[in-house]
Amino acid sequence: MKLPSPLLSLLINFLLGASWAFALLGAATLFFLFLNVGIFYSLFGSFLGALPGLFLVLLIEYFLMRQEKLDELKKQTKLLEELVARA
C-alpha cells in the first residue's frame, strides 16, 4: 500500500516486521521452553507465545485497510463532485 508519507510508510513496515518477529520469537521461545514437559504443552505454549505478536500484526493490517478505504472514499467523493459540477 502506498501511504502519503514515505516516513509513515517506513514506520508502518518496520512495525509490521517487528510484530512478525515478536510473534515468531514468542512462539519459538515458549515451544522450546515447554518441550521437556511434552509436545502438546510445547505446541500450546508456542500458540500462546505467538498471540501477542499476531495481535499486533492484525492491528497494523487493520490500520492499513482503513487507510486504504479512506483513500478510496476520497477518490470516489472527488469523482462524484466532478459529476455533480458537470450536471
How do the domains of the chain map onto residue ranges?
Answer: 8-86
Q: Could you give the count of Cα atoms lying within 13 Å of 29 in the half-sphere of its Cβ?
A: 11
b/e map 14-23, b = 16+ CB within 10 Å: eebeebbebb
In this prediction, residue 6 carries a pLDDT of 87
Question: What is the distance, to the nearest Å, from the Cα of residue 70 to the centroid of all Cα atoms in its chain?
Answer: 17
In this prediction, residue 5 carries a pLDDT of 81
Cα distance between residue 77 and residue 79, in whole Å = 5
Band of pLDDT at residue 1, cut at 50, 70 and 90:
low
Q: What is the pLDDT of residues 8-59, one digit of tens each?
A: 889 999 999 999 999 999 999 999 999 999 999 999 999 999 999 999 999 9
In this prediction, residue 4 carries a pLDDT of 74
In this prediction, residue 3 carries a pLDDT of 72
